[in-house]
A and B are shown apart, each in its own frame.
Chain A
């Protein structure tokens, strides 16, 4: 039995795929989403086995959405697209499964067969948009805020969740894990709980007992862990 999530920004497309999948006895459709942001929340909450993922969606494309997920624990992905020559070529070479809309019965059977018996090893590194983030989706009140990386001052992991702080000091929670942000953005890990935008660092200040901290242009101190200090100094060219 597989749990499935359908992600497509067109309601009729979702309906059509749901109808096709409902014929399979071992598929349970957990839900539908109309955009990548809803899908991220749904994946985090329900942890489906498989995501049928449209590529062209508002604000964050299907491929970009993959960049916001931890590849180690994420669901198996089947791309669903009407026409995308470039992406389809990449899928064929790199063992991603994909369906073309309108989906034919035979082709869907093949995909379901692979799901059941021999899943392909998915190599995300070939999808550059899935390995590099342009922006971080954050939650505001009743809205999703897409913050560009160069607008980030630092990211902090707190008990309540991950918070992204922008250049004006505004804090917004995000669903994207800290280690995903560390891997797919130029933000620098300087502490167990902190990522910092190096472009926003004004100085590195030594405090007692061999410890140090960053001070941002806005004057906010950011701690540096003792363990990471040598490698950070090396990376910043401080001898």
Chain B
């Protein structure tokens, strides 16, 4: 008879358990469960943990079955208390236990007090297990269904022990315990394991979604990085569109500027042709209002503006912002009529548009900066100082009388200098060519100041084939004469040196005038351009530095990377 009663009770309790778990499963689909998916030390999360597991604890009591004229209840509050403690720690376990316990106590019966104490004990059991696992670094174990089942099993054993110890009369207690022990153990242990499995399910789904989303976003960002930096044109847009199409898996991708389609890939590329004007009113509206436009083809109807038989059924238009937030084009994602437009792709699309906008902007800024630099440099060369030129001619004229051979040499120097100055400044030259330019220039200057200028050039032969940007050294030598030695009443001296320092080529121009004053706006123009151009290209650790000992010396030092290191012999 007892066996029959126990079996009946077990089945009944398992049925109640099913209702309990159904509620748990439904709740797990809501945002309420998100804080429960990881072991936390944050108080807001702990509070959520407390509230939810207290409710489960109370529900476990309420779904119980009265046994022996309602003095006792075969029930499942243990699951809430144990898992609450496991996930929230001892304090949460205790709080859940007390809440569940008070609730059970006020229901009354000869088992009221022991049952209330049971729940508190189970909460603490879960809590201390939590603490033990955290301290021994086994956080993942907290979510193990097997562990939850084991702890709950122990919890129920303790519960039965307390019941026997405290409930009076003992005979009745023993009778009741012998009746409920097996059903309680089965239902609670099984329930705790399934409950934990529900939690794990929920967590895995969240992680899976966000992992997929981040992976996709990062993939697109990595592929598209820098493409539009080189210009917002048809070719680059086509490359970006291809990346978006491959990565998002949408039906079609288009990129437009404010007038025409720059790129189109996917369904409908037979009639959406790059180079043709924008016809879609949605795109025009998105450009005009700088607003994202989304037609899901359902609530907001979508119809291709080019071909009525187009298979595309929904469209997302995102404006690309340029300077001052002005719209410079759009990105469009499409899905065919047969497919839904996923929220992920919508969010992705907007994020990617932001990324591309900043790329386009950065690219424009960089191009403008380098254009400015190039034009300044052109100006610098075009300024073949007329004072220098006419003085050179006057010197040659004078030398012609005394030394025709020398005069011929000077004319050759002058023409070399002029020819080199006409070279495009974007070119790289070997150090040999740069020195050749300087030698020609110095040939003239040494003749002009024959009584008070000497120059030493000391460049190791193995550095002569290193490539440097044209006009790197020449403006510095010109500066050293113009603002340095030519202003001296006594003899001027200029030393030009090159050496290798780690992976850098170091060029030095030193004069003995020591008249350098850091005035960035004035005559240092040539030097500043040289410095900015090198920094632009090779970064802040390269460029020109000036040091000066007033009245003694000025030293200009240029650092550029050894781009084309010649084959150095080991000696």
Interface residues of A (CB under 8 A from B): 9-13, 15-16, 19, 34-35, 37, 56, 58-59, 82-84, 100-102, 144
Chain A residue with minimal CB distance to B401? A19
Cα distance, A101 to B451, chains bound together (Å): 20
Q: Tell me whether B487 and A82 are in contact (CB under 8 A).
A: no
List the one stretch of B83-91, B365-373, B387-395 in contact with chain A: B387-395
Cβ contacts under 8 Å, A34 to chain B: 451-452
Cβ contacts under 8 Å, A82 to chain B: 386-387, 389-391, 394
Given A37-B489, A59-B487, A59-B489, do A12 and B395 touch, yes or no (CB 8 Å)? yes
Within 8 A of A (CB), among B488-514: 488-489
Most buried by A among B386, B387, B393, B486: B387
Cα distance, A164 to B80, chains bound together (Å): 101
Tell me whether B447 is interfacial, beta carbon within 8 Å.
yes
Question: Among A10, A59, A84, A101, which residue has its beta carbon within 8 angstroms of that of B449?
Answer: A10
Cβ contacts under 8 Å, B450 to chain A: 11-12
Cβ contacts under 8 Å, A9 to chain B: 449, 486
Contact with A along B383-409 (1 / 0, CB 8 A): 000110111011101110110000000
Q: Tell me whether A102 and B394 are in contact (CB under 8 A).
A: yes
- In the assembled complex, the CB of B365 is this many whole angstroms from the nearest CB of chain A, namely 37
Cβ contacts under 8 Å, B486 to chain A: 9, 58
Question: Among B386, B390, B401, B488, which residue has its beta carbon within 8 angstroms of that of A102?
Answer: B390
Q: Tell me whether B448 and A12 are in contact (CB under 8 A).
A: yes
Interchain residue pairs with CB less than 8 A apart (19): A10-B449, A11-B450, A11-B451, A13-B391, A13-B448, A15-B402, A34-B452, A37-B489, A58-B486, A58-B488, A82-B386, A82-B389, A82-B390, A82-B394, A101-B390, A101-B391, A102-B393, A102-B397, A144-B489
Given A19-B401, A82-B386, A102-B397, do A10 and B391 touch, yes or no (CB 8 Å)? yes
Cβ contacts under 8 Å, A102 to chain B: 390, 393-394, 397
- In the assembled complex, the CB of A138 is this many whole angstroms from the nearest CB of chain B, namely 13
Most buried by B among A10, A11, A83, A101: A10
Cβ contacts under 8 Å, B487 to chain A: 58-59
Query: 3 shortest A-B CB distances, which residue pairs?
Result: A16-B398, A82-B390, A12-B398
Given A82-B386, A82-B387, do A13 and B451 touch, yes or no (CB 8 Å)? no
Cα distance, A82 to B393, chains bound together (Å): 9
Contact with A along B13-34 (1 / 0, CB 8 A): 0000000000000000000000
Most buried by B among A19, A59, A83: A83
Cβ contacts under 8 Å, B488 to chain A: 58-59
Interface class of chain B by DSSP = helix
The count of residues in chain B whose C-beta lies closer than 8 Å to any C-beta of chain A is 23
Cα distance, A144 to B490, chains bound together (Å): 10
Question: Among B386, B398, B451, which residue has its beta carbon within 8 angstroms of that of A83?
Answer: B386
Cβ contacts under 8 Å, B389 to chain A: 82-83
Q: Tell me whether B489 and A16 are in contact (CB under 8 A).
A: no
Cβ contacts under 8 Å, B451 to chain A: 11, 34
Cα distance, A101 to B489, chains bound together (Å): 22
With A34-B452, A82-B390, A101-B391 given, name 7 new contacts (CB 8 A). Answer: A10-B449, A11-B450, A37-B489, A59-B489, A82-B389, A82-B394, A101-B393
Given A19-B401, A82-B387, A83-B387, do A35 and B395 touch, yes or no (CB 8 Å)? no
Most buried by A among B395, B486, B487, B489: B489
- In the assembled complex, the CB of A3 is this many whole angstroms from the nearest CB of chain B, namely 23
Cα distance, A101 to B402, chains bound together (Å): 18
- In the assembled complex, the CB of B263 is this many whole angstroms from the nearest CB of chain A, namely 54
Cα distance, A118 to B488, chains bound together (Å): 37
- In the assembled complex, the CB of B129 is this many whole angstroms from the nearest CB of chain A, namely 85
Chain B residue with minimal CB distance to A11? B451
- In the assembled complex, the CB of A92 is this many whole angstroms from the nearest CB of chain B, namely 18
Given A58-B488, A100-B390, do A10 and B395 touch, yes or no (CB 8 Å)? yes
Cα distance, A9 to B387, chains bound together (Å): 14
- In the assembled complex, the CB of B213 is this many whole angstroms from the nearest CB of chain A, namely 67
Q: Tell me whether B386 and A13 are in contact (CB under 8 A).
A: no
Cα distance, A13 to B487, chains bound together (Å): 17
Cβ contacts under 8 Å, B397 to chain A: 16, 102
Most buried by A among B395, B398, B450: B398
- In the assembled complex, the CB of B479 is this many whole angstroms from the nearest CB of chain A, namely 16
- In the assembled complex, the CB of B493 is this many whole angstroms from the nearest CB of chain A, namely 15
Cβ contacts under 8 Å, B452 to chain A: 34
Cβ contacts under 8 Å, B447 to chain A: 12
Cβ contacts under 8 Å, A15 to chain B: 398, 401-402
Q: Tell me whether A83 and B448 are in contact (CB under 8 A).
A: no
Cα distance, A34 to B398, chains bound together (Å): 16
Cβ contacts under 8 Å, B395 to chain A: 10, 12-13
- In the assembled complex, the CB of A42 is this many whole angstroms from the nearest CB of chain B, namely 15
Most buried by A among B393, B395, B448, B451: B395
Cα distance, A58 to B486, chains bound together (Å): 6
Cβ contacts under 8 Å, A58 to chain B: 486-489
Cα distance, A71 to B401, chains bound together (Å): 37
Given A11-B451, A35-B489, A59-B487, do A84 and B387 touch, yes or no (CB 8 Å)? yes
Cβ contacts under 8 Å, B398 to chain A: 12-13, 15-16, 19
Cα distance, A100 to B397, chains bound together (Å): 14
Chain A residue with minimal CB distance to B482? A56
Cα distance, A15 to B398, chains bound together (Å): 7
Chain A residue with minimal CB distance to B487? A58
Cβ contacts under 8 Å, B489 to chain A: 35, 37, 58-59, 144
Chain B residue with minimal CB distance to A56? B387
Chain B residue with minimal CB distance to A19? B401
Contact with A along B124-136 (1 / 0, CB 8 A): 0000000000000
Q: Tell me whether A101 and B394 are in contact (CB under 8 A).
A: yes
Cα distance, A31 to B447, chains bound together (Å): 22
Q: Tell me whether B401 and A10 are in contact (CB under 8 A).
A: no
Chain A residue with minimal CB distance to B391? A82
Chain B residue with minimal CB distance to A80? B394
Cβ contacts under 8 Å, B391 to chain A: 10, 13, 82, 101
Cα distance, A100 to B448, chains bound together (Å): 16
Cβ contacts under 8 Å, A11 to chain B: 450-451
Cβ contacts under 8 Å, A83 to chain B: 386-387, 389-390
Cα distance, A13 to B399, chains bound together (Å): 10
